[in-house]
Structure 1
Amino acid sequence: MSHKMFNYKKSTMALALLAAFHGQAAEKQWTAYEIVNIDDMYSVANSQLPLTRNGYGGDINNQEAVIGIAQGRNNTNTSDDDDNSGLIGEVDDAIFPEVTALTPNVTRPFQGNNFGFELEESDAWKAIHNAIAGQVAPNDEDASATKDVFYFGLHADKDIRVGRVSGTQTKVADPTPSEDDDDPNFYYRDFEARGFVKAGSNDEFLLAPSDDTAFYTSEVEGATQVEVGGFSVASAIATSSDNGSERVVGYVSTELSKNSKDNIDSCWNSFNDAETPDPIEVCIQNLQNGSSINYQLRPAVWTVDTTSSTATLDKTLALPFTPDDDDSNIYSALGLGINSQGVVIGESNQRNNDNNLMSYTWAQVWMPDGTIISPTDLDFDGLRGSTATAINDNGIAVGSVARYIGGYQRTKFWTYDVNSGEKYFTEPRDFNAGNETDLASIAKDINDAGLVVGNIEVDVQKQLPRRRNAFVYDYSADKAGDTGAFTNLNELLTCESRGYQQDDNGGFDSNGQKWSKFKITDNDTFAQPITYEADFVVVEANSINDNGEIVGTALVELPRVLVDSSGKVVTEEVTDPNTGETVTKVVIETDATGKPITDQLPRPVVLRPSSDGQSCQIPLDNDTSTQEPNERSGASLPLWLMALLPVAWLRRRRK
C-alpha cells in the first residue's frame, strides 16, 4: 500500500470512529492560508506577463511548480503624436484599455491572444513566458504574428506540462492582389490544435492525430492530398509512471466528418473553376476560420517517453453507446483527467435508456478494463448536462452538473467514488449544511487527501449575475460525518493575506485586534500622486497539490488610466520633483473628489497553509460563515464575470 493511500485510509477510518464513538459530528478544523505572492498582489508587475491584461492561475504540483494562462493585450496607444512606448512599458500597476482580439482572417497574420507562463518563486514569483512550439512573447516585436498556447496540467511529481497549441503560420502571395493592398499575401496554418508535452526547460513535442484526419484526398478531378490538420489536445498527465514512461490523457480526432469532406471538395471545385485560383490551403483555412471543418473526437491515452521525446497513442476510448454504421452525426467524447491506475474521466455525448440521443454532454468514467460508467442520473428531470473534471489516485472523481433549481439553471459540484459500485454521483452540501442552496458551484480539482477546490456563487439575488469566490471542501471529513466540511477559501486567509495591516486607526476583529486596509501610495509613476486601498478577493481555486497548496485567481483592485474619446491613453507633461526635469507620464482617471477610480483585473494567486498564522476574524462583505450568504444590493459587476479561468471551455473549444 502506498504511503498516500495509507494516510488516506487511516485518516478516514479515524474520523469515522470518532464520529461513531462520540455519537455526534465533529467540527472540521481548517488550517489558515496565506498568499505567498502577496507583494505581487499589491504590485502586479511580476505576476503578469508584460503587455497582457488578464492572468489566471492554472495548476500546481507537489514540487510547487506553478503554471497559468495570460489572456488579452493592453492597448497602450497614447493620445500624443510622440512615441511613448517606452513610457507605457514602465507602467505596470494600472488598468489599460484592452486590445480587441482579431477574428482569424486569411488576409492578415494570425494574432495569438493566449500565452502560457510559469510563476518562479525563486525569482520573486515573476511570471515567465514559456515559448511553446516557438510562440513569441506578447511584448516581442513580432508578437503580431504568433500562436495560441493553453496550459492544462502538470505532472504531480515531475516538471512535465501538457496543453494545446495552434499551428505554425505560412504566408503565400495573393495571385490577384489589388493595387491598394498594403499586404498582398494570404496566411494559413497547418493545424488549429495540437496537444503538446513539455518536459523541463527545452524538451517538448506534439501529439499528432491520425493521418486519416490530418490529411484528406478529395475525389474531385485533379485534386491532390491536402493537409487539414486534424485535432488533438493533452488535458492531463497521470501521477505515476511505468518503466520510465508517462501516461497522458486528452482527446483526438478519429474521423473527418462527411460535411467537412464535402466542404473541402467545394474548395477543389472552386479551384478548378477559377482562372487564377487562390491556393487551396487558403480555402481550407477559410473553412477552419468559419468552423466548417469538424471531426469525430474521442478520449485518447498516450504513452510518452520524455527522454526520447516520443509519444505512442495507446488507445482511443469509446462512446458510452455504439452509433449505427450509417449514423452521420458528429459525436464528441473528451478525456479530461487520469489517475495512476489509468482511470480516465471526462464527458461525452449520451443516449438515454430509450436509445434517443440526448442534448448536451454528460460525465463519463472510463475504467481500465473497458467499462464505461455514466454517473449522472439521466432520468432526473431538468438536467442540462454534466462533466467530470478531475480524479485522484484513490479513485474519487469530481465534476459539475447543470440543472434547474427554483426556476433558474445552476451548476452544482459533485463527487463520485469510481470503486464504490454506486450508480450515481453525490452533490455535497455547501454553505447550508442542512438544505440545498441554489448557489452555482464548479469543482476544479481534488488531491489525494480528498480536498476539493473550485468556485461558488456568493450572492443570493436570482435575477442578476452573481459574484463567485473560491471554495475548499474536505471529502474525507464530510464522509466521516464532520460538519463545516465546506468553506469559502477567503475565510481561511490570514488578515495580512486579506489586505489588512494592524493599525490603531482600524476596526476591531472578533479577537479584539485592530486592523485597517493596506493603502497603496504612488507618487512617482503617474502624472499625479495617487493613494487607494488594496482590495482583492480570491474568486476561484483551480488546483490543489498533496501538500494542500492551492493555485487560483484573485480579482485585484487597480487604478484605471484615463483615455480620450478615441480610446487612447492620455498622458501629461509634469515636472519631476526629484530632478526638476519635464517628463511625460500617464494620467489616472479620478472621481469628482480627486480619488483614483479603480477596477478589478484577474491575477494568479498562490496560497499555502500558514505555519503560525490564524484565519482573519474580520467578516467578509459576503459573509458565508452564516451558512447563507448575504444579499447584495445592486452592486455593479464590471469585470469579475470574465475572471474565471477559461480552462474548462478551452478544453472543449474546437473547430
Structure 2
Amino acid sequence: MSKIVKNIIALSISSALSISTVSSVNAATYQLVDKGETTNQKYTYAQHQNESGDMAISGTSNYNFPVQFQYLDDDDFVSIQIFAANNYQIVHELDNIEDPDALKAGNPTANDLAWVIKWLQNTSTGKGINIEYQKVGDTVAMTNIGSITQDFTLWDTTFEGTDTLTRSTIDIISGITNDGMYYGTATAPYLPSETFTDTNDIEHIFWLREHGLRGFYSYDQGTQIYQIPPFETGYGGGTSSIMDVNDAGIAVGFSSYKLNQTYSDFIENESNGCADPDIVPATMTLAACIANVQLSSGITPYHTMALKATLNPNGTPVVEQLGLLVTPHEDDERTYSSYALAINNNGVAVGYADGFYDETVTEPEEDERRVYYNALGSLENYKFAVVYKNGDVIDLTGDHADKGSSIAYDINDAGIAVGYIEKTVSGKLVQQFFYTDTNAPSEQINMVTPDGFFAGSDSSAHAINNSNIIVGEGEIETHNESTSNPRRTAAFVYDMNNDIFTNLNETIPCSIRLTYDIIEARGINDLGVISATAVIKANRRDAQGNVMLDNNGEPLTEDVVRAISLEPTPDDSEVCSAEEEEEKVERKGASVSSTGLLCIMALFSLRRRFFKVSYFK
C-alpha cells in the first residue's frame, strides 16, 4: 500500500475518532484484540505492531525456570531455607519451604522452586550479583503473527547435554517493520565456566556471558540474526541497542563509545583490582573478575552515544555516532551519554541526552551543575529531550528554569515529536506528556503540554502516527504515591488536531470494560491500530506453570498484564450505563494485586518515571 493511501486511511480514521469522541466519550470506537495467554510467561506487554498486524511483545515471569541444582551445595540449601523462613510471612502467596529433601534432590515443589528463584535473584543475599551463581534473565522476546503468540529465541542456548534454554538472557524485540524486519536488543546467555582451581586448591565455577546488550536485526524471522557492533568494547564487550527502524532500513539506538574512567581504573588497579595478582589469577580468571566488577560494583562501565545505522541484508551495517548534547570540560570524568529512540522516514531522530542545568553554557566548569532533585526526592542527572537533525543535537526543552528531565519517545514524518517533560506545577515536579514541532528554529521550539486526566497527573506520550494521533498513559489516582503504593494509570489517545484527550478504557465495548483495564499504550501505526497493555483476570499458576485450585477444586484467579491490540471501528453509539461504570470502579478498587502489578511494571519501563536505560547495561 502506498504511503499516500495509508495516510488517507489514517486521516479518515482520525476524523472518525474525533467526531465519535465529541459526541460521546463512552462510545465504543475500538475493537479489542487479546494477543493471547502464553504457556511460558505470566505477564506479556505490547511493544509495537506493523500495518500487517504483526506485533512485538515482551514476556516476564517465566514458569518452570530451569534451576541447575547440581551447582548448589549443602550450605546453599541451608541458605535457601533460612531465606524462605525469614520472608514467607511477607511474600504474598508463598509458604515456607515445604519439602527440604525433595529440594536438595533437585525435585522441588512449585512453592519451593519459587523460593530458589527468588534467592538466586536476590541482591541482599548476594546471590543476584555473585558470579558463582546461576543468573535469571526473565525477559523474553515474543511475536504475535497471524494471531499466534510465541517465543522468539535470539542468542539464548541450551545447557550442555540438554534441550533446556538457560533463560538467563534479556531479549526485547522493539518492533517489526512493514516489510517484516525484526529488530531490538538482546544479551548473550550466562553459562557455567570450566572448573577453576584457585591457589588454595578450592574449585570454582563462574557464570559468564560473551557480551551484554547487543542491538540486532533479522530479515528472515530469526534464521539469520545480525548484530550492531559497539563503538567501544573494552573490559566487558560494550553495549549497543536498536530502538527503531524507518521504512528505508535506517535504524537508531545507542552504543557504548568510551570507557568510564572510574570503571577502567578499578579493573586496572594493582591493589584489589583485576590487575592485582592476588586476585587474578590467584582467585579467579580475568573474565570472571571483569564480570564481577560489572555485577557488584554499581559502576556504570561506559559512556553511551546515540547511533544511526544503515542496515543491509549482508549483515554489514554502516554505523555512525549522532553526538552529544553538551561538550564537558576536559577534566570532567563524569559519564555523558545520549540515546536515540525513534526515527522518521525523513531521517530525523529523537531521544534524550545528558545536559547541564544551564542551557546557555558554552564553556563549562569541571563540576558544571548537572543534577536536580526529582519527584521522588532523589538526586538525578539532567537528561533532556533532543532531536538529531542535520548533524546537530538540538535541545527540545528550551529554557531549563522550573523544569526537570525530559524524553522524546517518538517522531512522525511531519516532524512532530512526543514524550514527557518534568515541570514545576504549584511547587511540585510533575511529568506531563508533550508534543512539539521539530521543524521550528531551535530558539522557537515549544513543548505543548495538553491537559491530562487531572491537574498534577503524571503522564507520558509514547507514540504518534502520521495523522497526529498520540497515545500513552497517565495517572488516574490522586493519593501521595510511594514505591509500595504507586498510583494506577490508564492509557489515553490524544487527537492533536482537535485537542481531544480520551481514556482508552472508554472507547471499547461496554461488555468487556469489566474484563480489561487498559493501563498503557505503547504504539500506534498509520492505520490507527494501537498497541497496548491491559490488566485482566487469569487463572493463577504456580512457579511450575500449573493452574492452582481452591479448596473446592475451582481455579484460583489473579490479575496479570496482557498485550492487546486496539483496532479502530465505526462508532456504534453504544453508551455504558452509570451502573456499569460504577461497577468497574468498584472492581478496580477491590483488586488485591493491582499494587503488586504496578511495582512489577515499573521494573520493565511500563511507567514513565521508571524508564531507565541503565536497566539495559
TM range (shorter): 0.7 to 0.9
Q: Which amino acid aligns with 1:192?
A: G
Q: CA deviation at 1:377?
A: 3.8
Residues 336-415 of structure 1 aligned to structure 2 (within 5 Å): 336-351=341-356, 352-353=358-359, 355=361, 356-359=368-371, 360-381=381-402, 383-406=403-426, 408-415=428-435
Q: Which amino acid aligns with 2:558?
A: D
What corresponds to 1:607 in structure 2?
566
Gapped runs of 5+ residues in structure 2? 66-93, 122-127, 362-367, 372-380
Q: CA deviation at 1:495?
A: 2.5
SS in 1 for 2:407: strand
Residues 447-596 of structure 1 aligned to structure 2 (within 5 Å): 447-462=465-480, 465-478=486-499, 485-498=500-513, 535-560=515-540, 587-589=548-550
SS in 2 for 1:263: helix
What corresponds to 2:216 in structure 1?
196
Q: CA deviation at 1:455?
A: 1.0
In the alignment, the residues of structure 1 paired with residue 292 and residue 595 of structure 2 have an alpha-carbon distance, to the nearest angstrom, of 35
In the alignment, the residues of structure 2 paired with residue 9 and residue 35 of structure 1 have an alpha-carbon distance, to the nearest angstrom, of 18
Taking a change above 3 Å as real, the CA distance of residues 323 and 599 of structure 1, as seen in their structure-2 partners, is same
Would you say the 8 A contact 2:280–2:289 is kept in 1? no
What corresponds to 1:299 in structure 2?
306
Are 2:73 and 1:114 equivalent residues in the alignment?
A: no
What corresponds to 2:45 in structure 1?
56
Kindly tell me the number of residue pairs found equivalent between the two proteins.
535
Larger Rg: 1
Are 2:164 and 1:142 equivalent residues in the alignment?
A: yes
Q: CA deviation at 1:601?
A: 0.9
SS in 1 for 2:317: strand
Are 2:253 and 1:250 equivalent residues in the alignment?
A: yes
Q: CA deviation at 1:312?
A: 1.3
Q: Which amino acid aligns with 1:3?
A: I
Are 2:290 and 1:284 equivalent residues in the alignment?
A: yes
Are 2:33 and 1:67 equivalent residues in the alignment?
A: no
Residues 433-444 of structure 1 aligned to structure 2 (within 5 Å): 437-444=455-462
Taking a change above 3 Å as real, the CA distance of residues 635 and 56 of structure 1, as seen in their structure-2 partners, is closer
Per-residue CA deviations over 1:67-88 (Å, capped at 9, x if unaligned) read: 11111224699968999x99x9
Taking a change above 3 Å as real, the CA distance of residues 495 and 282 of structure 1, as seen in their structure-2 partners, is same
In the alignment, the residues of structure 2 paired with residue 208 and residue 388 of structure 1 have an alpha-carbon distance, to the nearest angstrom, of 25
Q: CA deviation at 1:497?
A: 3.5
SS in 2 for 1:476: coil
Q: Which amino acid aligns with 1:57?
A: A
SS in 2 for 1:310: coil
Q: Which amino acid aligns with 2:186?
A: V
In the alignment, the residues of structure 1 paired with residue 597 and residue 281 of structure 2 have an alpha-carbon distance, to the nearest angstrom, of 53
Are 2:148 and 1:126 equivalent residues in the alignment?
A: yes
In the alignment, the residues of structure 2 paired with residue 310 and residue 317 of structure 1 have an alpha-carbon distance, to the nearest angstrom, of 19
Q: CA deviation at 1:268?
A: 4.0
SS in 2 for 1:203: coil
Taking a change above 3 Å as real, the CA distance of residues 10 and 150 of structure 1, as seen in their structure-2 partners, is closer
In the alignment, the residues of structure 1 paired with residue 131 and residue 115 of structure 2 have an alpha-carbon distance, to the nearest angstrom, of 27
Gapped runs of 5+ residues in structure 1? 20-24, 41-45, 90-95, 216-226, 479-484, 500-534, 571-584
Taking a change above 3 Å as real, the CA distance of residues 357 and 261 of structure 1, as seen in their structure-2 partners, is same
Q: CA deviation at 1:551?
A: 1.4
SS in 1 for 2:479: coil
Would you say the 8 A contact 2:434–2:448 is kept in 1? yes
What corresponds to 1:332 in structure 2?
337
Would you say the 8 A contact 1:33–1:493 is kept in 2? yes
Taking a change above 3 Å as real, the CA distance of residues 586 and 6 of structure 1, as seen in their structure-2 partners, is closer
In the alignment, the residues of structure 1 paired with residue 152 and residue 11 of structure 2 have an alpha-carbon distance, to the nearest angstrom, of 41
What corresponds to 2:79 in structure 1?
none
What corresponds to 2:596 in structure 1?
639
Would you say the 8 A contact 1:271–1:280 is kept in 2? no
Would you say the 8 A contact 1:151–1:163 is kept in 2? yes
Q: CA deviation at 1:163?
A: 1.4
Per-residue CA deviations over 1:203-226 (Å, capped at 9, x if unaligned) read: 31110112xx213xxxxxxxxxxx
Residues 266-277 of structure 1 aligned to structure 2 (within 5 Å): 266=269, 267-271=273-277, 276-277=282-283
Q: Which amino acid aligns with 2:497?
A: S
Q: Which amino acid aligns with 1:47?
A: E
Q: CA deviation at 1:610?
A: 2.5
Are 2:314 and 1:308 equivalent residues in the alignment?
A: yes
Per-residue CA deviations over 1:360-405 (Å, capped at 9, x if unaligned) read: 3333333431233212144431x22110011111111100112344
SS in 2 for 1:36: strand
In the alignment, the residues of structure 1 paired with residue 439 and residue 563 of structure 2 have an alpha-carbon distance, to the nearest angstrom, of 35
Q: Which amino acid aligns with 1:387?
A: I
Taking a change above 3 Å as real, the CA distance of residues 493 and 424 of structure 1, as seen in their structure-2 partners, is same
What corresponds to 2:88 in structure 1?
none
What corresponds to 1:3 in structure 2?
4
What corresponds to 2:266 in structure 1?
263
State the percentage of identical aligned residues. 21
* Equivalent residue for 2:242, pick from 219, 234, 239: 234
SS in 2 for 1:269: coil
Q: CA deviation at 1:448?
A: 0.9
Q: CA deviation at 1:179?
A: 8.9
Q: Compare the two structures and name the one with the higher helix fraction.
A: 2
* Equivalent residue for 1:424, pick from 432, 439, 446: 446
SS in 1 for 2:277: helix
What corresponds to 2:197 in structure 1?
175
What corresponds to 1:35 in structure 2?
32
Per-residue CA deviations over 1:403-453 (Å, capped at 9, x if unaligned) read: 34445543211001111343221101234xxxx611111111111111111
Would you say the 8 A contact 1:116–1:130 is kept in 2? yes
Taking a change above 3 Å as real, the CA distance of residues 190 and 437 of structure 1, as seen in their structure-2 partners, is same
Taking a change above 3 Å as real, the CA distance of residues 111 and 214 of structure 1, as seen in their structure-2 partners, is same
Would you say the 8 A contact 1:558–1:600 is kept in 2? yes
Q: CA deviation at 1:304?
A: 0.6
Would you say the 8 A contact 1:492–1:615 is kept in 2? no
Q: CA deviation at 1:600?
A: 1.0
Taking a change above 3 Å as real, the CA distance of residues 615 and 277 of structure 1, as seen in their structure-2 partners, is same
In the alignment, the residues of structure 1 paired with residue 153 and residue 420 of structure 2 have an alpha-carbon distance, to the nearest angstrom, of 33
SS in 2 for 1:301: strand
Would you say the 8 A contact 1:60–1:66 is kept in 2? yes
Once the two structures are overlaid, the 10-residue window that deviates more, 593-602 or 52-61, is 593-602
* Equivalent residue for 1:158, pick from 179, 183, 187: 179
What corresponds to 1:513 in structure 2?
none
What corresponds to 2:230 in structure 1?
209
In the alignment, the residues of structure 1 paired with residue 13 and residue 588 of structure 2 have an alpha-carbon distance, to the nearest angstrom, of 38
In the alignment, the residues of structure 2 paired with residue 180 and residue 613 of structure 1 have an alpha-carbon distance, to the nearest angstrom, of 73
Taking a change above 3 Å as real, the CA distance of residues 543 and 12 of structure 1, as seen in their structure-2 partners, is closer
In the alignment, the residues of structure 2 paired with residue 348 and residue 35 of structure 1 have an alpha-carbon distance, to the nearest angstrom, of 36
Q: CA deviation at 1:193?
A: 1.1
In the alignment, the residues of structure 2 paired with residue 374 and residue 490 of structure 1 have an alpha-carbon distance, to the nearest angstrom, of 34
Taking a change above 3 Å as real, the CA distance of residues 475 and 587 of structure 1, as seen in their structure-2 partners, is closer
In the alignment, the residues of structure 2 paired with residue 14 and residue 401 of structure 1 have an alpha-carbon distance, to the nearest angstrom, of 28
Would you say the 8 A contact 2:438–2:445 is kept in 1? no
Q: TM-score if structure 2 supplies the norm length?
A: 0.76
In the alignment, the residues of structure 2 paired with residue 540 and residue 13 of structure 1 have an alpha-carbon distance, to the nearest angstrom, of 20
In the alignment, the residues of structure 1 paired with residue 216 and residue 158 of structure 2 have an alpha-carbon distance, to the nearest angstrom, of 17
In the alignment, the residues of structure 1 paired with residue 428 and residue 501 of structure 2 have an alpha-carbon distance, to the nearest angstrom, of 23
